[in-house]
Amino acid sequence: MFTAYLIVAIVTIVLNAGAAIADFVYAPFVLENSAAVDVPRSWIVPLGLAKAAGAAGLTLGLVGVPYLGAAAATGLVLFYIGAVVAHVRARVFGNMIVPGGLLALAAVVLVLDLAQAR
């Protein structure tokens, strides 16, 4: 089970860190997606900080701070629920696979993390 947790956690860390970097540099696709779901440009960096914090927390969870890893996974689950809700509210379904996929990854990391804590 640890191997599955390790793989999913690393993939989730890499994807969230990459998404945070894209937010920090105002990548064109970030600006397009945020405009499509009515997220103000002023929120992009703070949302990137949340993604970066989630990636950092998951990383610390992997290196021996288990409660922080679970907290980070919980935060990412909540974050991506909000992202999916924003897409549904704006009726933007074409690119919802990204927040939906990241939500699924964060949820799997959380479940595997909690399963290991037993």
- State the pLDDT confidence band at 65, using cuts at 50, 70 and 90: confident
Give CA separation, 50 vs 56, 79, 104, 107, in Å.
10, 8, 17, 16
Q: In terms of residue numbers, what domain contains 22? A: 2-116
Element housing 29 (H / E) = helix 28-36
Total domains, the chain: 1
Question: What integer pLDDT is reported at residue 116 of this predicted model?
Answer: 84
Question: What integer pLDDT is reported at residue 87 of this predicted model?
Answer: 96
Task: List all residues 6 or more positions away from 66 whose beta carbon is below 8 Å from its beta carbon.
Answer: 113, 116, 117
Question: What is the pTM for the complete model shown?
Answer: 0.94
